[in-house]
Amino acid sequence: MPRPARLFDDALPPPIALKGRKAELATLAGALSSGRLSRLALVGGGGSGKSVLAAVLAHRLRPRHPGGALWLRVGNWDHRTLLQMLALRLGAARDPLIAGLRAHLEARGRTLVVLDNHENDREMARLLDALDGTPVTWLLTARRCLLAGVSVFPVIAPLIQSRRNAFPAVRALTSLLRWNPLALGIANGLVRARAATVGELAAWLDREGVGRVRVMAHEDDVAEVRLLVEWAWRRLSPAARRILGVLAHCPGDHMDTAALATLARAGRAAGAAVRSLRAWELIQEPMPGRFALHAVVRYALADKSAVAPARYFDYYVRLLEQRPERFVVEQSHLFAAMDHAQAISSLEKMLRIEALVAG
C-alpha cells in the first residue's frame, strides 16, 4: 500500500488574512525562525482563534523548514498512538518505533510539526521527550498547557483590546458576544445568509441570558456559541441536524460529503444540508470538500443526535479496506477505529485494523 509522506500544504486551509493579528504573527514567526525556540504552545479559550492563527503561522514558516511540515489533530491520544501517527505520516520505520522516527527526522532535516487541539499533558510530554533533540519545530494549540520546556503564548480574541469590530455586518453584537471570533463568525454567517437579522439575534441572546454569570463546565462551554448553535438548530432541516450530529460525535477528524450522507442517512439531501451549514458558518472546511466542527460547537451539540461509535468503525474500516489509497486523508478515522476496537476488546476488529496499518 503506497503511503507517501504528505506535507501539510495539501491538508490545511489556504492562507487567509487575519484581522488584528499582525503583531502576533510577526512576533511568533520571528521567534520560531530564529532557531532558539523549538517548542511553542498557542494557548487560549474556546473559539479564541488558536488553530486559525497556527495555520497562518505555519504557512509563513513553511519556507524555513526544508524537511516539510505536518498538521496533526491530537486531542487526548496516547503518546504511542501519536508516535504511530507521526511515523505513518512521515513514512518512517515503525520497528523499532522511536529509533526509526528519530533517524527519519534527522535525515529529513528541519521539519515543522503542528499538533492541534492538544489535551493530554502527560502523553504530550512523553512524545516530546521521546523525540527531543531532533530537528523539529513543534507548534501546539491547546486550551491549557502545563508542560515545562514548552514556551506558552497566550491567545485572546483579536481586536478585543482595541475594541474594534471584526465583522461589520454584526458590529452591534460584538460586545454582546464578548469579541469571541467563533461566535461572531456564526452570527455573521446567519446575518449574511439572511437567516436572521442582527436585532433578532440580539433579542434571542438577551432573552436566553448570554450575559448571565454562571460556572462553565470547561473551556469549550462557551455560552455565546452555545446559544447561537441552539438558535440555528431549531431552524435547520432534519438532514442538516443529522449531519451536525454525525460531526459532533465523530471520533476522527474531518469528513467528506459521502461519509456524512451515509452516516447521517441524509441521502441526496446531504449536499443542500452541507451548503446551508457552510453558509451559516456552523461547520468548517479544513480541506477542500471535507468538513469538521470547531470543538466549542461540538460541545454545544454533545447531547444531540448521538451516533454509535461502531457505525464510524464499520464505515471507515470498510472504506479503507476497499480504497487503501485513502489512507493518508482518513488516517485519524483509522486511529479512532483502533481506539474503539481496543476499548471493547474486540480481537476481530483489532486484527482488521492491524491489517490496514501493516499494509
pLDDT digits (tens, 9 = 90+) for 155-180: 877 665 555 666 889 999 998 998 88
Q: Which CATH class is domain 8-154?
A: alpha beta
- Give the start-end residues of each E strand in 213-283: 255-256
At the topology level of CATH, where does 238-300 sit? Arc Repressor Mutant, subunit A (1.10.10)
Cα distances (angstroms) measured from residue 282 to each of 14, 24, 237, 300, 328: 19, 27, 14, 11, 26
Q: Is the dihedral of CA 55, 57, 59, 65 positive or negative?
A: negative
Which range of 25-34, 74-83, 138-147 scores highest in mean pLDDT? It is 138-147
- Kindly report the pTM of this predicted structure: 0.81
The CB density around residue 195, as the number of other CB atoms within 10 Å, is: 17
Q: How far apart are CA 134 and CA 85, in angstroms?
A: 17
Cα distances (angstroms) measured from residue 240 to each of 108, 118, 208, 236, 272: 44, 29, 23, 6, 8
| Higher pLDDT pick, 310 / 22 | 310
The CB density around residue 342, as the number of other CB atoms within 10 Å, is: 14
Q: Give me the residue spans of the domains in the chain.
A: 8-154, 168-233, 238-300, 310-358
Please write the tens of the pLDDT for every residue from 185-242: 999 999 999 999 999 999 999 999 999 999 988 888 999 999 999 999 999 999 999 9
b/e per residue 6-23 (b: at least 16 CB within 10 A) = bbbeebbeeeeebebbee
- pLDDT at residue 6 tops 50: no
Joined grid coordinates for residue 204? 434571542
The average confidence (pLDDT) of the chain is 87
Is residue 160 exposed (0-12), middle (13-18) or buried (19+ Cβ within 10 Å)?
A: middle
- pLDDT at residue 10 tops 50: no
